Amino acid sequence: MDELSYIVLSALVNGAVMTVALYVGMRKGVEKAVDAVIDRLRERLGRSPAAKRLERALESLDRLLGDERLLEQATKFFAEAAKLASSQEARNFFASLAELARALTVRPPLREVRQLGPHDPLLPAEGETLKDSEEQ
Amino acid sequence: MSEAVLDDLIKELDRFIRHRDPRRAVKRLVSAFIGYLTPENLERAVRENLDLFDLLVSRYRLTDPSVLPYFRAAMRLYWQEFEEVVTDVPRIYGLLRRRLGDHPILSAPEFVNYLNSQAESLYRKMYALVWG
């Protein structure tokens, strides 16, 4: 359970950083966001007394994503907590976490890529340009 | 970590989980990516057979240990939305047409072949990176 608690805590820390990254991403555009997040992390890692903890949390998230068994455990743990929690707010919170953990765990099957065929109606007929086909 | 800090973190995460809007987020990402594409860039990509996955990985430092865990987690959460776009080449083509109009590059058979092969390759490589 200690390991699980640690992973849950790490996931929370990482989730918060990810939230910030996504928020910055929405505001500043993907390219700038990535640079901003990396710089912010490096800056913090260089200064903060919690550097080691953050570093461990990062490794932990990586480990968590690579370990289906742990993710399944976390999903069950949150689902159980959602049933047992006394307040509605806490139940909703844990249910959301269970949903999040499930989304991280379930590996979808590879699907077929729908290709653009040479005679697709989006393409102009042979010898024509897109402009010609639009005019018709 | 103090309780107040942990409390803030939980609140932020909670807000993120409850209010995330995957379709809007993915739409913004795709628009941002399409926004970088110019006819000149596309012509060069086809001519040099550039690998879009490699370009994305190097530009956004996706395999950097500071980025990869977040990227994998975010992509897992938004996988369905990403997959819907990248596995549908006619849809990507439609988005490109909306941006580039009737530019001749879009009707070149080499470009269509390139687009088909890159969508396939990008999807498979991204799958391996995110779920491998």
Instruction: Specify the residue for token string 């994305």.
Output: B56
A2 and A55 belong to one structural domain: yes
* Contacts with B87 from chain A: Cβ below 8 Å: 111-114
Residues B66-121 have pLDDT tens digits of 667 777 877 787 788 789 889 999 998 988 888 888 888 888 899 999 999 999 99
* ipTM of the complex in this document: 0.75
A41 and A100 belong to one structural domain: no
Residues B22-55 have pLDDT tens digits of 566 566 566 666 666 788 888 999 999 999 899 8
* B22 neighbors B79 (Cβ within 8 angstroms): no
A97 and A86 belong to one structural domain: yes
A51 and A77 belong to one structural domain: no
Q: pTM for this structure? A: 0.65
A45 and A91 belong to one structural domain: no
A49 and A8 belong to one structural domain: yes
Query: Which neighbouring-strand residues pair with A63?
Result: none
Q: Are residues A99 and B17, on separate chains, in Cβ contact within 8 Å?
A: yes
CA distance linking residue B69 with residue A82, whole number of Å: 26
Residues A50-94 have pLDDT tens digits of 555 555 655 666 666 777 776 777 777 777 777 877 777 777 777
A81 and A61 belong to one structural domain: no
**Using CB atoms and an 8 Å cut-off, which of residues 34-63 of chain B contact chain A?**
59-61
Per-residue pLDDT at A115 exceeds 60: yes
**Using CB atoms and an 8 Å cut-off, which of residues 47-66 of chain A contact chain B?**
50, 53, 58, 61-62, 65
Nearest CA in chain A to B69: A62
Q: Which of B124, B96, B99 is nearest to B112 (CA)?
A: B96
Instruction: Give how many domains chain A has, as a whole number.
Output: 2
- Whether residue A8 lies inside any domain: the answer is yes
Domain positions in chain B: 22-131
Of A58, A120, A124, the CB nearest to B69: A58
A44 and A10 belong to one structural domain: yes
* B20 neighbors A23 (Cβ within 8 angstroms): no
- Whether residue A30 lies inside any domain: the answer is yes
Average pLDDT over residues A114-127: 80
Domain that holds residue A37: 1-65
* pLDDT, chain A, mean: 65
